[in-house]
Amino acid sequence: AGMAGAFLMEIRRGTQSALLVIRYAAAELPSAPVEVSVCADSLEVRSGGSCDAAALPAGVRLAPSSCRGLRCLRGDGLHLRVRLRSPPPAADVVFSLRESLKPNKNYIFYCQSCGDIVVKDRKFLRVLPLPSENWSDLVEEWCCHPDPFARSTLHPQHGDCFLGDTFLLLNSGNESHMPESPKSEENTRVICKRCKTMLGETVSSDTIKYYVTEVIIQLAEGSFSPTPRSQFVQSMVAQCLLELSSAKSTFRFTIKGDNGKTYILIWLLNSDTLLVESLGSSSSHSVFTPFGDILMPSSGPVGTWNAVKVLYQPCIKCRNKDLADAWENDMGVHLLKFPSETCLELLLILGLSTASLPPSLRCMNSFQV
């Protein structure tokens, strides 16, 4: 069986350790002996007269003498653990709306799906974070007298932008570029005029909620640069998980749609993972996804990704209902709300990611990885 130089390395920055999986091109074990050479900056696999070698990305240096735990798993390949000589490069700073949206600058909002302008040349005088979704439920714990906020509403004025966990609130004003939304109370969805994608919801007669997974926000003087759909959804959801886990020390999340249904339960394991993968080691990285983009590594035969590692459970079609109900009543679980279509996209992205892993790494307890 040919090796095709296929390997997957999962590096933890915090512990400077790595799990290396050298994957077989076929499900069966090779008939000829396999010789694996681990060098500081490269891997080499010899089997049956063939030799496959791959250079590691710059900044990733192994300590060959630390190799341990070698084992062979049918359908996976060879597993071993190794330490790093030095910490790998730091992760890219995650794009954050809280840091990028500044007062007194002109912004344009684009539909992420088709690039149509949603809000043109909007200057914010104030950019303010909103309290968490259940802030009003906690007022009784803060106040010894009747709720002073009972008649107050957090609606932005014309020069305001209010930032929530997964959305931002704008004053709709009288702008002609604002998408038309249905007047029916049962359906308050804000739809892109060009591609009919849901962008957000009308909160009141003068307030619109835009979901961060549906709009691209750029400075007015810049040019629009589209991002492949699956990459954009992954980056924005990862941003939400990282910000909330850091700010609130919460690591379990319920993903709900705008229809109120629970779609996914997510448990954040770590955010210091660096994946190093050869081109031939994953079938899902060489095909078109349903979002129109190709899941391919960075340039060259070896790709690297900064990754957020999560456990998840699908909840569609009443799956895992008991667990979802238990998480619903758990104060340690944080709710994240997205458009229902985006929840399904995220579930598909998670499934593709799981399928790209060696079979032995796809599950942990009853959760998928």
pLDDT in tens, 23-37: 875 555 666 788 889
- Whether the pLDDT of residue 70 is over 50: the answer is yes
In a domain, 250, yes or no: yes
Structural domain contains residue 326: yes
Dump pLDDT digits (tens) for 89-131. Answer: 887 665 677 778 899 999 999 999 999 999 998 999 999 998 8
Same domain, 239 and 362: yes
d(CA 123, CA 103) in angstroms, rounded, equals 7
Which of 89, 119, 135 finishes a domain?
A: 89
Question: How many structural domains does the chain have?
Answer: 3
Residue 287 inside a domain? The answer is no
Which band of pLDDT confidence, cut at 50, 70 and 90, is reported for residue 15?
Answer: very high
Residue 292: pLDDT over 70: no
Residues 199 and 240 placed together within one structural domain of the fold: no
This prediction's pTM = 0.87
Residue 265 resides in a domain? yes
Burial string for 27-36 (b: 16+ CB within 10 Å, else e) reads eeebeeebeb
pLDDT at 146: 77
Same domain for 353 and 241, yes or no, is yes
Of 177, 194, 219, the domain-final residue: 219
The answer to whether position 277 is within a domain reads: no
Same domain, 234 and 198: no
Residue 302 forms part of a structural domain: no
Domain residue limits at 235: 229-271+308-368
The whole-chain average pLDDT of the chain stands at 85
Q: What CATH number is attached to the domain comprising 49? A: 2.60.40.790
Shared domain check, 364 and 258? yes
Residues 234 and 351 in one domain: yes
212 shares a domain with 326: no
Residue 43 is assigned to a structural domain of this protein: yes
Q: Are residue 82 and residue 12 in the same domain, yes or no?
A: yes
337 and 252 within one domain: yes
Question: Do 324 and 257 lie in a common domain?
Answer: yes
Report whether pLDDT(212) > 70. Answer: yes
Q: Judge whether 149 lies within some domain.
A: yes
Please say if the pLDDT value at position 263 is more than 50.
Answer: yes
Q: What is the pLDDT of residue 256?
A: 97
Judge if 82 and 101 occupy the same domain. no
In this prediction, residue 130 carries a pLDDT of 87
- Domain edge (last residue) among 63, 89, 115: 89
For residues 206 and 239, state if they share a domain: no
**Mean pLDDT lowest for which of 47-51, 148-152, 180-184?**
180-184
